[in-house]
Structure 1
Amino acid sequence: MAQASRWTVIGRLEDIPRQGARVVASAMGDIAVFRALDDTVFAVEDSCPHKGGKLSQGIVHGHAVTCPLHNWVIDLQQGEAVAPDAGCVRRFAVKLEEGRVLLALPR
């Protein structure tokens, strides 16, 4: 059975720079919230599946982020490493409402 989530306001869209990230501390660890150039927002665990690099410190390009440690590219929509690398990060639901960013956090 899926775990229930609660929507939590984490700030305004303009609080996150385009092609940048903010970190949200949670009981499960840090969550990186990214804003793409087209204002699409994504949220994933802030740890690369390769060696645990902080994805929030990586370079955002399109709907992906490049890990600052070893240049693994993570697709932010799927949470999957881009080939030839293999691995994935946990994704979190995120939505925009009236300019506010809401993150779904497990209860």
Structure 2
Amino acid sequence: MGTTQVKQKVFVANFAELPPRIGREIVVDGLKIAVFRLSDDRIKAIGGACPHKQGPLAEGIVAGEYVFCPLHEYKVSLIDGKVQEPDDGCVATYDTLVEEDKVYVLV
């Protein structure tokens, strides 16, 4: 029998306060999470530190469904957290929720 882990619903911001393609970093129990509003208004959340040199992904440039690390331009998928070739590595991904114009991350 597996155990069911209850996820914590963490408020990020009001939807209108998240500009498209600009990251926002939140910290939950010491864990850095980068939250992004894509140009099509989907909300994505990934681990906030690049697996290469721990660059702050929330400060990266967003293009489509990817963010480029501001330190060394590693390209990280906002969908599955994988670093794109020829580089490698990955970051965690988190489910997001928008309720009554409020944005949450499920941790």
TM-score by length of 1: 0.90
Equivalent position SS for 1:56: helix
1:2-49 CA distance string (max 9 Å, x none): 532022222211111111111111114211101111111111111001
1:71-82 matches, within 5 Å, as: 71-82=73-84
The answer to whether the aligner puts 1:26 opposite 2:24 as a matched pair is no
Counting aligned pairs with the same residue, the percent is: 34
* 1:49 partner letter: P
Q: Alignment partner for residue 37 of structure 1, among 30, 36, 39?
A: 39
Structure 2 distance, partners of 1:2, 1:70, is 38
Structure 2 gap ranges (5+): none
Equivalent position SS for 1:25: strand
TM-score by length of 2: 0.90
Structure 2 distance, partners of 1:4, 1:45, is 19
* Aligned alpha-carbon RMSD (Å): 1.3
1:39-84 CA distance string (max 9 Å, x none): 1111111100111000001001101100011110000000000111
* 2:36 partner letter: F
- How many positions carry a matched residue from both structures? 105
Structure 1 gap ranges (5+): none
Q: Alignment partner for residue 92 of structure 1, among 91, 94, 105?
A: 94
The answer to whether the aligner puts 1:61 opposite 2:80 as a matched pair is no
Structure 2 distance, partners of 1:29, 1:20, is 20
